[in-house]
């Protein structure tokens, strides 16, 4: 009997065209996990979106692309540094909700949630 598992990686640390070295360790870890038989994955990469911080480049809402054969959904999340920190898990869960629900609907495999860092990623993923 072959076990098939689909990882749903939920993180705000994942590289993209806007920041190719951001969270590269998460991508490398995932690429190694995918070498196992019966394992597939999709990534929900959350990107803070604010015009108040020029060093954060917001990604378009729910832009999906493939990196190294892995489907990555870049989800723009409204945030105001230092002001919304305590609200971030709720904002992140709401922004990612439609993508996560679509992945669940379209997957026949067991879905395993792989969230990075307890706060806010893990709390948002649990919501």
pLDDT tens for 46-65 read 988 775 555 545 444 568 99
pTM of the full structure: 0.85
The pLDDT, as a whole number, for residue 86 is 85
pLDDT band (50, 70, 90) for residue 1 = low
Express each pLDDT in 100-121 by its tens digit. 999 989 988 778 889 988 888 8
Q: C-alpha distances in angstroms, 108 versus 3, 58, 59?
A: 12, 32, 29
Q: Taking residues 11-19, what's their average pLDDT? A: 91
The pLDDT, as a whole number, for residue 110 is 77
The pLDDT, as a whole number, for residue 11 is 94
Structure tokens at 4: 């098939």
Contact call for residues 14 and 27 (beta carbons, < 8 A):
yes
Contact call for residues 119 and 10 (beta carbons, < 8 A):
no
């Amino acid at each position: 009997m072959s076990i098939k598992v689909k990882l749903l990686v939920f993180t705000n640390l994942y590289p993209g065209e806007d920041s190719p070295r951001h969270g590269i360790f998460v991508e490398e870890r995932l690429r190694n996990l995918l070498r196992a038989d019966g394992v597939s994955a999709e990534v929900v990469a959350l990107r803070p979106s604010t015009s108040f911080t020029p060093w954060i480049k917001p990604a378009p809402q729910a832009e999906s692309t493939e990196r190294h054969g892995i489907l990555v959904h870049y989800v723009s999340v409204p945030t105001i540094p230092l002001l919304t920190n305590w609200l971030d898990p709720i904002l992140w869960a709401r922004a990612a909700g439609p993508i996560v629900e679509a992945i669940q609907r379209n997957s026949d495999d067991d879905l395993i949630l792989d969230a990075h860092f307890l706060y806010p990623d893990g709390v948002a993923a649990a919501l």
